Amino acid sequence: MGKILVSSSHFESLCQGAKKLLLDAGHEIILHKGELPYMSFDEIAAVAPEIDGAIIGLDDWTEEVFRIAPKLKVVAKFGVGTDNIDKDAAKRYGIKVINAPGMNSNAVAELTVGMMIDMLREITDLHTAMTRGEWPRFMGSELEGRTVGLLGFGAIARLVAKKLQGFDVTILASDLYPNLELAEKYGVQIVSSDEVIAHSDILSIHIPSTPETYHMFNDAVFSRMKPGAYLVNAARGAIIDTDALVRALQSGRVAKAALDAFEHEPLHADDPLLLTGKVICTPHTGAETKESYHRVSMCVAQGVIDVLNGKDPMFWVNR
């Protein structure tokens, strides 16, 4: 049957079910064994001519790749965000782009809530101070009574809202196509994006990275946020103008930011963001739980099998 390149990480250790699914269907797996969940163009080019499918992480899949991959029928994003795949070019080459929506949402939603509490109570900073032998006093704040704003009300944001129900917060959300039924179910007030930005004590970003959302958070938007608001971005780095965020943190307009995604990854230790001392960062690990790896891998493996069997996949992004 087909040869499937897997460039996403932890496939061997956490995705045995998906591996079995692919092998039982008669496919051969070519596993990328690099340190990072990225393959360079040259690494991809070395195997591109022989592959029928690919299960990919954060590497770039562009027309240059499709041009040298004549057998390629399906590119499956190990996750949701397909901004690293040129979907239109793929379509022109007859390649289906698929993903696994909702399969890692819970992991990102739990991290998002964790980041909110970490910022308000400075858990990470206090721990770091203790590793230096300090015993600092710090007066934190509570989530209760606060207004949490969700920019975007898709799969992840809805789960964040569901989890926040027990915290006695006011939840605002905006979306281009809001699901009013779920908003009512989770006690969420659907408002405009401008209102989410202006009224949130804690603003959490859950929209995709698109040309329309590129640098949506710029100086003008930060200046409209509540002074001293907190920001969470576990979506995509390109949504925020990083230089503007650094200015907003330095001025105190944004009290603190918790970030899982960055414009340029990996982030370096001397990055101006880290030097503000007002960020909590995780290295794009929002979706990285054992549970989500299992769910995502089973979903994309089935999608790849379906495409190579000539069936329409369930989650087809460039239909």
Ligand X SMILES: NC(=O)c1ccc[n+]([C@@H]2O[C@H](COP(=O)([O-])OP(=O)(O)OC[C@H]3O[C@@H](n4cnc5c(N)ncnc54)[C@H](O)[C@@H]3O)[C@@H](O)[C@H]2O)c1
* Residues with catalytic function: 236, 265, 284
In which residue are the tokens 């569901």 written?
162
Neighbours of 273 (CB within 10 A): 21
Q: Cα–Cα distance between 297 and 98 in angstroms, integer? A: 12
Per the CB < 8 A criterion, the answer to whether 118 and 282 are in contact is no
Shortest distance, position 28 Cβ to ligand X, whole Å: 28
* Nearer to ligand X among residue 89 and residue 109 (C-beta): 109
Output 52 or 288, the one with its CB closest to ligand X. 288
Residue nearest to ligand X (CB): 154
Distance of closest approach, residue 284 Cβ to ligand X, in angstroms: 6
Structural tokens at position 256: 């603190």
Where does this chain bind ligand X (CB under 6 A)? 79-81, 101, 104-105, 108, 151-157, 174-177, 193, 206-209, 212-213, 234-236, 260-261, 284, 286-287
Residue 295 Cβ vs ligand X, minimum distance, rounded to whole Å: 12
What's the closest the beta carbon of residue 172 comes to ligand X, in angstroms? 12
Asked if residues 127 and 280 have their Cβ atoms less than 8 Å apart, the reply is: no
Minimum distance between the CB of residue 239 and ligand X, rounded to whole angstroms?
7
